[in-house]
A = this chain, B = another copy of it.
Amino acid sequence: MVKAPWQDVAQIAQDLRAKSIADIKPAIPDVPSHAEIPLNTTSIPRKLLGEAELNITESPPEELLRSLASGQLSSVEVVTAFLRRAGIAQTLANCVTEVLPKAAIERATYLDEYLKTNKKPIGPLHGLPISVKEHIGMKGLGLNGGFVSWWDHVGKEDAHIIQLLQNAGCVLYVRTTQPQCLMHLETANNLYGVTVNPYNRNLTSGGSSGGEGVLIALKGSCLGIGTDIGGSIRAPSANNGIWGFKPTSYRLPMGGMTAPMAGSEQIVAVVGPMSASFEGCHVFMKTLIDQKPWLTDPALLPMPWTYPPKESYLTKPDGEKKLKIGIIWSDGVVKPHPPVIRAIQDLTAKLKSIPEVELVDWKPYKHDLAWDVISALYFCDGAKQEKEALASSGEPWLPLTEFIIKEQPQVPDREFTISEVWQRTVKRDEYRKEYAKAWTETAQDGYPVDVILCPVGPGAAPPLNQSRYWGYTAQWNLLDYPAMIFPVTQLDPKKDPVETGYQPLNAKDEFNYKLYEPEKYVDAPVSLQLVGRRYDDEKVFEAMEFIQKSVGHLPLESFK
Q: List 5 A-B contacts (CB under 8 A).
A: A298-B435, A301-B535, A381-B419, A382-B418, A384-B418
Q: How far is the CA of A479 from the CA of B299 in the complex (A)?
A: 10
The 9 closest A-B pairs by CB, nearest first: A263-B422, A263-B425, A381-B418, A263-B426, A298-B436, A415-B418, A380-B418, A298-B534, A298-B432
Interface of A is mostly: loop
Contacts A298-B432, A436-B297 known; A422 to B381 CB distance under 8 Å? yes
- What is the CB-to-nearest-CB distance from A125 to chain B, in angstroms, rounded to a whole number? 23
Q: How far is the CA of A228 from the CA of B42 in the complex (A)?
A: 58
When the two chains form their complex, are residues B263 and A433 in contact, meaning their CB atoms are under 8 A apart?
no
Residues of B within 8 A of A385 (CB): 419
When the two chains form their complex, are residues B429 and A299 in contact, meaning their CB atoms are under 8 A apart?
yes
Other 10 A-B pairs with CB < 8 A, given A263-B423, A381-B419: A262-B426, A263-B422, A263-B429, A264-B418, A296-B440, A298-B480, A381-B417, A381-B418, A382-B418, A416-B418
Residues of B within 8 A of A419 (CB): 381, 384-385, 415
A266 at the B interface (CB under 8 A): yes
A424 at the B interface (CB under 8 A): yes
Considering the complex, give the chain B residue whose CB is closest to the CB of A426.
Answer: B263
Residues of B within 8 A of A432 (CB): 298-299
By a beta-carbon cutoff of 8 Å, the part of chain A in contact with chain B is 255, 261-266, 294-299, 301-303, 380-382, 384-385, 415-419, 421-426, 429, 432-433, 435-437, 440, 479-480, 533-535
Considering the complex, give the chain B residue whose CB is closest to the CB of A264.
Answer: B422
When the two chains form their complex, are residues A433 and B298 in contact, meaning their CB atoms are under 8 A apart?
yes
Q: How far is the CA of A424 from the CA of B263 in the complex (A)?
A: 8
Considering the complex, give the chain B residue whose CB is closest to the CB of A254.
Answer: B429
Q: How far is the CA of A159 from the CA of B129 in the complex (A)?
A: 51
Residues of B within 8 A of A422 (CB): 261-264, 381
- What is the CB-to-nearest-CB distance from A395 to chain B, in angstroms, rounded to a whole number? 22
Considering the complex, give the chain B residue whose CB is closest to the CB of A250.
Answer: B301
When the two chains form their complex, are residues A296 and B433 in contact, meaning their CB atoms are under 8 A apart?
yes
Q: How far is the CA of A301 from the CA of B480 in the complex (A)?
A: 12
- What is the CB-to-nearest-CB distance from A205 to chain B, in angstroms, rounded to a whole number? 30
Residues of B within 8 A of A298 (CB): 432-433, 435-436, 479-480, 533-534
- What is the CB-to-nearest-CB distance from A551 to chain B, in angstroms, rounded to a whole number? 29
Residues of B within 8 A of A425 (CB): 263-265
Considering the complex, give the chain B residue whose CB is closest to the CB of A480.
Answer: B298
Residues of B within 8 A of A299 (CB): 429, 432
Residues of B within 8 A of A296 (CB): 433, 436-437, 440
